[in-house]
Amino acid sequence: MNVHEYQAKALFREFGVAVPNGQLATTPEEAERAAKALGSPVVVVKAQVHAGGRGKAGGVKVVKSPAEAKQAASQILGMTLHTPQTPPEGKLVRKVYVEAGSNIVKEYYLAVLFDRASEKFAVVASTEGGMEIEVVAEKSPDKILTSQVDPNLGLREYQARDLGFRLGLDGEQIKKFVPFVMALYALYQAKDCSQVEINPLVLTAEGDFFALDGKLNFDDNAL
């Protein structure tokens, strides 16, 4: 079972995984009010459907005022979104998520999943954030970094730190990256997820990490 981005981010907040401020909206007027409440000079209006590739399909719009947020929401709500991850008939958009914009310096990929071959958990990261991980695996497999976690021991801080160094992060960035990864792993464990994916994980000009998107998959038996 999958959940929507806004639901995933609510769980992220619960476990201390940093996300930008955002609000759910089901009408253009609600989107306008959400943009006003956020008070950010730039906001992003995102279609809430169970599919990746929303931006390329017109389901994600960056705007610079509450009035523009209202207009963007009116365009997105009610549209049928077609992406490589939707069924042929597409997905009807009934909700949008209005989120504060981020001053992005770099995008990364980060996930926690179960590696059945090794019977261990795996924390997977890449410097190629924003791209579909399947494309990265095919074209640049060397850019996918993996740290395997013994289920009996759990994720250790040195493993998260090592992953940060392998991503090319500096000392100050790693001080924020390590607790971010540890919090994500805690969520993965506590909620019996089969996979938690952040694509992209962004580093801002202020030196903070944020989950700009979030996908959580649960085994039906874990619900």
Is residue 61 assigned to a domain?
A: yes
Q: List the domain range (segments joined by +) for residue 155.
A: 104-222
Does one domain contain both 63 and 119? no
H-run or E-run covering 146: strand 144-149
Does one domain contain both 158 and 61? no
Does one domain contain both 127 and 144? yes
Does one domain contain both 64 and 114? no
Q: Is residue 132 very low, low, confident or very high in pLDDT (cuts 50, 70, 90)?
A: confident
Does one domain contain both 58 and 119? no
Does one domain contain both 111 and 218? yes
Q: How many domains does the chain have?
A: 2
Q: Is residue 10 very low, low, confident or very high in pLDDT (cuts 50, 70, 90)?
A: very high
CATH number where 34 lies:
3.30.1490.20
Q: Is residue 56 very low, low, confident or very high in pLDDT (cuts 50, 70, 90)?
A: confident
Does one domain contain both 25 and 93? yes
Is residue 114 assigned to a domain?
A: yes
- Note the pLDDT tens digit of each residue in 57-95: 899 999 999 999 999 999 999 999 998 878 889 999 999
Does one domain contain both 111 and 161? yes
- Note the pLDDT tens digit of each residue in 153-187: 999 999 999 999 999 999 999 999 999 999 999 99
Does one domain contain both 109 and 218? yes
* DSSP letter for each residue of 68-119: HHHHHHHHHTT-EE--TTS-TT-EE---EEEEE---EEEEEEEEEEEETTTT
Q: Catalogue the active-site residues.
A: 109, 197
Q: Report the candidate in 51, 58, 199, 88 with the shortest Cα–Cα distance to residue 137.
A: 199
